[in-house]
Structures are given as structure tokens and as C-alpha cells.
């Protein structure tokens, strides 16, 4: 009997031991998985850093006169492909991970020993290495390196005019690089890691400058509008600036600076083959205008239902609108509604801030000759129609 009890106690101890080991293993497993993940992330980051270093050293040894991006109208123009590692590989694969290397080359201004501005004193270089995160699948930056190179020997005198553009995502709290900016003379450049676009060697005159695209995201771009061009039915977000001749400025070297707040645009999307009447529509943001400007027509665009789908909206603003039907329909009421029949409240619903927003709307109307209708929370709740005896 005693022997039986001893064996029973031993079995219980074994079961308890296995249970405890299981509990310990379960608690350690997440830590182990995190360690494996961290080790892989660390390996990717190290490989990205090595690629960036190699690209920087290769660029520093390149012929200075040919050191620039190989893009039409780019300044400084050169032989370097912006999206190829050492001008050869768009993708570099290491241990099953695909890396992409991006290069930006730009002017850096300085002052001479006599105090005169030298807009093209140096060339700055940014190298960015990106790869997909193994777990989320999203593309991430794993390495960013910057450097500057200078010319050896004498330089040829050039036009000293310069213009600096700063780029931000939505507001001044979120600087963003890789934005392509263009002058009306065709010259283009990218914003660097300091979110600065430095346009050098400019003649003294007026220029129009605007952002036209951003690296990796295409031409779906809009800057915060400043005015309206009703002849083209679009908002204006370019800037007109004057670059002055520093030799005539009395020793003060004051060059223009421009801030652009950019975002993905919002679009109004109607159903295909809708065949709506091409009514005129006046639409604009519900915001406070600058002091001294009437709020009635501030940033209001006069366009048509047909052209509305081509309009780029600054999607952070709420909008108000008025649809103007033809003379024969002047007693009808028209408005924009969503697919559920809810009257559009003038806002864009953002599901992803890093993609354009498409607001799906339809043209609604009411046949009310005399009377009123009310709506609450975007829906018509009451209609009053007045009849007269004949």
C-alpha cells in the first residue's frame, strides 16, 4: 500500500512538472518570436546602411561635372539615375529581401570670401534605401545618408539668383522630402532631406513655381490653394515670386522663399454613364477668408457638373455649393447626395491619408414648385407643399 502511494506521488510530480514547463514555454515563446523578428529587422537595417554607404562613396568619386540627376530639365543635370543603385540595379536582393536605392542631388549655396552669394557652391547628396517590412508588407525607409561634395579648381561665373522652396505634408508640423518642384522656365528639382528645394543660377526676373509630383507617389498631388482660375475651372496653388539682382540690392542678399503645404487630392466621383444635365455649379470651401476679403466668393469656382469630376479638392476643407439649373428648371431644387440618398455635407471622408480620396456622389433633385423642405443630419425629414385651387 505504501509502495502504491509513493508511485502515485511521483506521477503527480511529473504531471506538475510538465504543466510548469508548458506555462514557462508559452510565456517565453512571444519573447523568442520577437527576438527572431528583431534580429531580422536588424539585419535588414544593416544591409540598407551598407548599400547607402556604398552609393555615397561611389557618388563622391564621380566626375563632379557629371554629378547630377539624369532627368530632363533637372538642375543640377548629370548622369546619375535617381532610382538605380550605382546606375545599374533598380532592385538589390540580399537574403531574399529586395532593396531599392534612391538618390537626390541638389545645389547647396554658400557665400564667397568677399561676402557675395554663390548659389552653386556645393552639391548635396541624399541616399535613401527602402525595403518592404517582412511582417506588414509596407515599404519602409531603413537608411538615409547625406553628404556634400565640392568642385576642385576654379568655377565659371554664373547667374547668382536663387529661390528656396520648403515642402510640408498638410501643415508646418510635418515636413516631407522627395517633392518635385518646377519653375515656369522648365527647370525642376526635388526637396532634400531638409525639405528644401534649392533652385540656383536664376536670372533676375519673376518666376512661377509649383509642386508637380512626389517620389514614389506619382502626380496625384495638390498644394493648399491660394486663388481661383475660373477660366480653367481650377484652384491655383502655384506661387509667383520675384528673384532680384543682388548686385542692385545695395548689399542685402534677400532671396525669395516659398512654403508649399501638399496633400493627396480629393475627387468627386459620379456613377458611370450617369447622363446628368450639365448644370452650372458654384462650389468653394467653407473657411474664413483673409482679412479684407469677402467671404461670399472667396475661392469659389464656377464650373459644371461634367467638369466637377476633374476638379482637385483640398480635402481637409468642408465645402458649400449651389447648383444652377437652366431657365426651364428654375423651380426645381438640385443637390448632391451619396449612394444612400443622404445629402452631401461638403466633407471628404478619409479612409487612408496616403492615397487620394474619392467621394462617390449622385445628382439628386426635388420637384417642388412652392413650399419648403427641411433636413436633419443630412437627410430630408419634412416636406411642405402648398397647393392652390384652380
Helix and strand numbers (H, E) in the chain are: 2, 23
Q: Are 181 and 189 in contact (CB under 8 A)?
A: yes
User: For residue 278, what are the contacts with CB-CB under 8 A and spacing of at least 6?
Assistant: 304, 305, 306
pLDDT for 6: 52
pLDDT computed for residue 32 by the predictor? 58
* Edge-first strand listing for the sheet containing 301-304: 301-304, 280-285, 319-324
Collapsing DSSP states into helix, strand and coil, what is residue 32? helix
Q: How do strand 257-263 and strand 161-169 relate by DSSP bridges?
A: parallel
CATH fold group of domain 159-263: Immunoglobulin-like (2.60.40)
The percent helix, strand, coil of the chain (3-state, each to 5) is 20, 40, 40
Three cell numbers written together for 106: 541638389
| pLDDT for the residue 311 | 94
- pTM comes to 0.77
* Among 193, 145, 142, 143, CA closest to 167: 193
Instruction: State the pLDDT at residue 390.
Output: 40
Angstrom distance (rounded) from CA 274 to CA 175: 41
Compute the CA torsion angle 48, 52, 54, 56 (nearest 10 deg).
180
pLDDT of residue 9: 57
For the chain (length 390 residues), average pLDDT per consecutive 10? Answer: 53 73 69 63 90 96 94 93 95 92 92 76 94 84 92 67 92 93 93 92 91 88 92 90 75 81 95 82 91 83 90 95 73 79 90 92 68 47 47
User: How does strand 92-94 pair with strand 97-111?
Assistant: antiparallel
- pLDDT for res 21: 74
Report the alpha-carbon distance of residue 145 to residue 264 in Å, rounded.
27
Structural domain boundaries of the chain?
A: 35-155, 159-263, 266-385
Amino acid at each position: 500500500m505504501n509502495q502504491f502511494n509513493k508511485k502515485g506521488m511521483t506521477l503527480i510530480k511529473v504531471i506538475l512538472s510538465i504543466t510548469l514547463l508548458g506555462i514557462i514555454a508559452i510565456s517565453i515563446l512571444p519573447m523568442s518570436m520577437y527576438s527572431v523578428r528583431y534580429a531580422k529587422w536588424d539585419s535588414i537595417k544593416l544591409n540598407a546602411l551598407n548599400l547607402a554607404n556604398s552609393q555615397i562613396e561611389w557618388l563622391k568619386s564621380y566626375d563632379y561635372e557629371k554629378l547630377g540627376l539624369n532627368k530632363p530639365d533637372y538642375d543640377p543635370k548629370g548622369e546619375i539615375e535617381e532610382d538605380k543603385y550605382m546606375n545599374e540595379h533598380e532592385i538589390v536582393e540580399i537574403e531574399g529581401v529586395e532593396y531599392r536605392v534612391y538618390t537626390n542631388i541638389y545645389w547647396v549655396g554658400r557665400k564667397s570670401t568677399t561676402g557675395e552669394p554663390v548659389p552653386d557652391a556645393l552639391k548635396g547628396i541624399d541616399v535613401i534605401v527602402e525595403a518592404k517590412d517582412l511582417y506588414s508588407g509596407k515599404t519602409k525607409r531603413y537608411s538615409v545618408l547625406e553628404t556634400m561634395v565640392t568642385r576642385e579648381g576654379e568655377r565659371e561665373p554664373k547667374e547668382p539668383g536663387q529661390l528656396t522652396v520648403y515642402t510640408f505634408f498638410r501643415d508646418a508640423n510635418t515636413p516631407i522630402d522627395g517633392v518635385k518642384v518646377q519653375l515656369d522656365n522648365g527647370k525642376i528639382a526635388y526637396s532634400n532631406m531638409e525639405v528644401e528645394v534649392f533652385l540656383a543660377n536664376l536670372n533676375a526676373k519673376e518666376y512661377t513655381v509649383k509642386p508637380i509630383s512626389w517620389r514614389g507617389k506619382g502626380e496625384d498631388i495638390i498644394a493648399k490653394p491660394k486663388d481661383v482660375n475660373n477660366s480653367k475651372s481650377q484652384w491655383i496653388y502655384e506661387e509667383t515670386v520675384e528673384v532680384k539682382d543682388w548686385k542692385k540690392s545695395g548689399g542685402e542678399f534677400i532671396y525669395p522663399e516659398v512654403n508649399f503645404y501638399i496633400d493627396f487630392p480629393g475627387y468627386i466621383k459620379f456613377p458611370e454613364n450617369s447622363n446628368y444635365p450639365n448644370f452650372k455649379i458654384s462650389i468653394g470651401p467653407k473657411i474664413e477668408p483673409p482679412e479684407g476679403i469677402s467671404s461670399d466668393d472667396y475661392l469659389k469656382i464656377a464650373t459644371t457638373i461634367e467638369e466637377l469630376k476633374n476638379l482637385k479638392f483640398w480635402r481637409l476643407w468642408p465645402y458649400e455649393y449651389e447648383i444652377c439649373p437652366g431657365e426651364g428648371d428654375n423651380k426645381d431644387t438640385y443637390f448632391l447626395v451619396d449612394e444612400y440618398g443622404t445629402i452631401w455635407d461638403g466633407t471628404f471622408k478619409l479612409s487612408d491619408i496616403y492615397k487620394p480620396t474619392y467621394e462617390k456622389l449622385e445628382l439628386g433633385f426635388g420637384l417642388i414648385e412652392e413650399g419648403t423642405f427641411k433636413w436633419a443630419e443630412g437627410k430630408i425629414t419634412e416636406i411642405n407643399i402648398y397647393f392652390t385651387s384652380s
